[in-house]
Structure 1
């Protein structure tokens, strides 16, 4: 499988894993079918569980993951709205908890675990609800926060849908060179984020560090760059998912795809919401 900029997709098996299920969907179907025909004790349930991955599996599992995340985010937002003191704990706890689960999924190769993916959705929802309140309450106030959040949500899925069309039409081809460029860009942005955080903690430039999150011109440019990288990352994620389907990965792999897409969607949403808050502050 071609490498992807998304760490969750990068941890999916390449050799000795899904890629050896046969030569595409036909190879998997034939191999699995022969096994079940040879063993009459295999139940219908086992046949269904072990079937190859389909696009419907990806859509369903991603929809479930986003649904759980949305419910968690809504609950978190209204909890913080009723008690602003909860904003910090929910945002910090959700972010750290979500990060830990992504690391477990990535390095422990447990990205296909339904429980882990849905747990991530719950924790990340708590984070999103709290951070959405913080980014909107101080820029447009709580009365207009819903409108700003709605704009960010529509913008996020608008970008997602647009990049899906770009991928399906082949307007931009996902090549190894394109992938390497995206991975390099993502590591560059990550290094800048960490550097900005560390410098801010040591009081550089009045605690603003490199000024990447201060709300000025640099912040706007940085958020636009992050939005662009997140958007083009979808192309690589779509390609990785497409290759898994073509390779005949088991249907449980849909949970890993859902996790990878959700990670990118969350990043994109936060950057769009940040950008909107910068314009409101101006």
Structure 2
């Protein structure tokens, strides 16, 4: 079973929840699973525990026919993760991101910078905490989303001051890339194959190495451009645009792998609480995608 390149889905806790989840029982809807005692301990008039079917040998043909026609218990009744759970919890996380971003977009500039730094540090810390916790905690995941919103709102405010309209374009770009990626995945045109996973892991290591080197050059003043090596041009094209496009493609691949991990979790009957883990993983990828598109647009506009 292949899990996403996102460390949230590759982590031990989510993998364990998916691979060790017991099969979903198929007792008739509204009835106790076979062999399970009725919590009220009541007896039926026929000597069987209330809510349970009599042994097959003692059941009438009408009772057997009714039992086999009854719908099976679904994921909701058995406490399993569903796509609706993941969607609703992801929307909740994105809602907290939007609220956090709105705060830094509308407070005074000085306060916005302080909140942006708080969001960057706090979001990084909570990302690590949520990634390694044995059980997902909704409050911590929503707190991460709010802190990331503070950071994204602050950085958007800074860049939008240099190139007006870039923030709105980045939002549209993120929605477009995520929507197209989901549509392609659902259509079956792109799948999370082992080859795609291998390519992603190799490419992301190279991208992270480049980013760390670039950050070091900027911090120590080796290069004068605020974008570092990204500000260089190759055949008239800023290196940052080329790297940014590669990063957007990698983020889209990460979404494909995330969708595959969620699909595997739903099929395996992972416990319902891990829908929060899935929502957290998607939020991490979408935040990364938005950041890369925002930076790509900023570099592109600064070289017009």
TM-based fold match above 0.5? yes
The superposition leaves residues 230-267 of structure 1 with CA deviations (integer Å, 9 ceiling, x where unpaired) of 01111000000000000101111111111111111111
Structure 2: give runs of 5+ residues left out of the alignment: 42-74
Q: What corresponds to 1:245 in structure 2? A: 266
- How far 1:108 moved relative to its partner? 2.8
Q: What corresponds to 2:146 in structure 1? A: 122
- 2:231–2:238 Cα contact (<8 Å) kept: no
Alignment pair present for 1:180 and 2:193: no
- 1:69–1:121 Cα contact (<8 Å) kept: yes
- How far 1:277 moved relative to its partner? 1.8
Which segments of structure 1 move beyond 6 Å, counting only runs of 4 or more?
27-30, 47-50
- How far 1:49 moved relative to its partner? 8.8
Aligned pairs for 1:23-102 within 5 A: 23=23, 25-26=24-25, 34=33, 37-38=36-37, 40=39, 51-79=79-107, 83-102=108-127
What is the Cα-based RMSD across aligned positions, in Å? 2.8
Whole-Å Cα distance in 1 between the matches of residues 221 and 272 of structure 2? Answer: 50
**More helix, by proportion:** 1
Compared CA separation, residues 270 and 136, structure 1 to 2 (3 A) = same
Whole-Å Cα distance in 1 between the matches of residues 27 and 271 of structure 2? Answer: 9
- How far 1:207 moved relative to its partner? 6.1
Whole-Å Cα distance in 2 between the matches of residues 155 and 209 of structure 1? Answer: 21
State the SS of the aligned residue for 1:171.
coil
Compared CA separation, residues 155 and 26, structure 1 to 2 (3 A) = farther
- 2:17–2:271 Cα contact (<8 Å) kept: no
Which one of 206, 214, 217 corresponds to residue 196 of structure 1? 214
State the SS of the aligned residue for 1:18.
helix
Structure 1: give runs of 5+ residues left out of the alignment: 141-146
- 1:203–1:209 Cα contact (<8 Å) kept: no
Q: What corresponds to 1:107 in structure 2? A: 132
The superposition leaves residues 6-26 of structure 1 with CA deviations (integer Å, 9 ceiling, x where unpaired) of 011111536653322234x45
The superposition leaves residues 159-203 of structure 1 with CA deviations (integer Å, 9 ceiling, x where unpaired) of 101001111111122112211211221122111111111122122
Task: Give TM-score, length-normalised by structure 2.
Answer: 0.79
State the SS of the aligned residue for 2:121.
helix
